[in-house]
Amino acid sequence: MTPSRFEHDYGFRRDAVRHDNWRDAPWNVWAFRHVHELIPTARIVATSGLAEEPKADADALTQHEFTFDGERRTVASVLRQTSTDAITVMRAGRFVADFHAPHFTLQTRHIMFSASKSVAGLLAGMLVGDGLLDPDAPVAHYVPELARSAFGDARVQHVLDMRTSLDFNEDYLDPDGLYARYRRAGQFDPPREGEPRQTVIELLASLTKGAGDHGGPFHYCSPNSDVLGLVIERASGERYADFAATRLWQPLGLRHDGCVTVDIEGTARSGGGLCMAVRDLARIGELVRLGGMVGERRLIPAAWIDDTRCGGSAEAWRQGSFSAWLPNGRYRNKWYQVGNASGACFAIGIHGQWLYVDPLRETVIAKFSSQPDPTNDAVKFLNLALFEAIAAMK
């Protein structure tokens, strides 16, 4: 039998990609670009009729060499090593390089996983500017269903900074733990036979506190960001996808519709379910670089962007579990700070999703990948070295 076009392009049949294996290699290469065919999503509507600029040449980028771990490497070799699906580079507001893996285009949407959290942080900042959200208010003020959960005595800022006390282990490879139940609630995994279906809010309401108080060390737990999505919905009075459309996608001039995965009740997975085009992700990074401005219009308060890029507790970070791979970092309002001389900050998602903003060198880099492992510190080091090298290019 002659292979189908799909099988010719990807090396496997479409029916090989299932709800229970879509994050595994090699199927993730296709699945990360077609999440809407596997999981229910809500559409984030862009302004129609905005033309995309032509693709920029990537040769100068891919041929560039830099030193990492004592070895000279080309950007092209690092892109292969890190399973890159797409990377786009902006310099002083212009697209200067676009690299795409086979069968990826300027229109292709890709899941961002936890880089979604950083978008939620920007949306929260808009509501703070509107006077509709108080970061010091209790979470339960906005989402009373969580009053008896671990979040019952947490403040919104604790959620924004991953400084809640939660009895929760973010183990991506444990099929039987609490994180796997969290994924099933968000429809990232199929339901288990005989197990009652949970919604995202039911899962969040069932979480209990850890040993310490809120406001302690940085403790990475994705449910914080789904709580933030609920806070955004309640404070704005809009569905998450609709608020993102009217306050970010459309005024920023994003060229392509996005989408966000939803649970069985339609609750958005704001902590990991956003899908969008790579250039549109870079445009969000450019908004951060410009301090919340697009043209003459302010979308996000300057004070929120300044706090996101420079605030946060260095001590909370040092005491947290991520300081080994980012020793000089901080975490504020769902964004990571590198702690380098350029004042760079970034968003990151499992399997290699990145948005890197270097204000001093006027550089924004958006990168989508289909790395086989959810997380790998050595690959994070390599990606950060890649972004530093690109930002330093003349």
How long is the chain? 394
Residue % of the chain over a pLDDT of 90 = 95
Overall average pLDDT of the 67-81 stretch: 96
Q: What is the pLDDT of residue 209?
A: 96
Model confidence at 233: pLDDT above 90: yes
Model confidence at 382: pLDDT above 70: yes
Overall average pLDDT of the 99-122 stretch: 98
Between the two ends of the chain, the Cα-to-Cα distance in Å is 52
Overall average pLDDT of the 196-211 stretch: 96
Overall average pLDDT of the 221-245 stretch: 98
Of 153, 146, 250, give the one whose Cα is nearest residue 210.
153
- Which of 114, 116, 118, 369 is flagged as catalytic? 114
Query: Does residue 114 have an active-site annotation?
Result: yes
For the stretch 176-197, pLDDT in tens is: 889 999 999 999 999 999 999 9
Q: What is the pLDDT of residue 1?
A: 63
Model confidence at 220: pLDDT above 70: yes
* Coil/strand/helix, residue 53: coil
Model confidence at 145: pLDDT above 80: yes
Helix axes 223-236, 115-130, angle to 10 degrees: 30
C-alpha span between 152 and 145 (Å, rounded): 9
Residue % of the chain over a pLDDT of 70 = 100
Buried b or exposed e, range 206-222, using 16+ CB within 10 angstroms: ebebbeeebebbbbebb
Q: What is the pLDDT of residue 172?
A: 87
For the stretch 321-347, pLDDT in tens is: 899 999 999 999 999 999 999 999 999
Spell out the residues 6+ positions from residue 295 whose beta carbon is closer than 8 angstroms to its own.
none
For the stretch 250-308, pLDDT in tens is: 999 999 999 999 999 999 999 999 999 999 999 999 999 999 999 999 999 999 999 99
Q: How much is the mean pLDDT over the chain?
A: 96
Model confidence at 171: pLDDT above 80: yes
Q: What is the pLDDT of residue 128?
A: 98
- Token pair 């990492």 is at which residue? 68
Spell out the residues 6+ positions from residue 5 whose beta carbon is closer than 8 angstroms to its own.
none
Per the CB < 8 A criterion, the answer to whether 366 and 104 are in contact is no
The H or E element containing residue 55 is none
Q: What is the pLDDT of residue 119?
A: 98
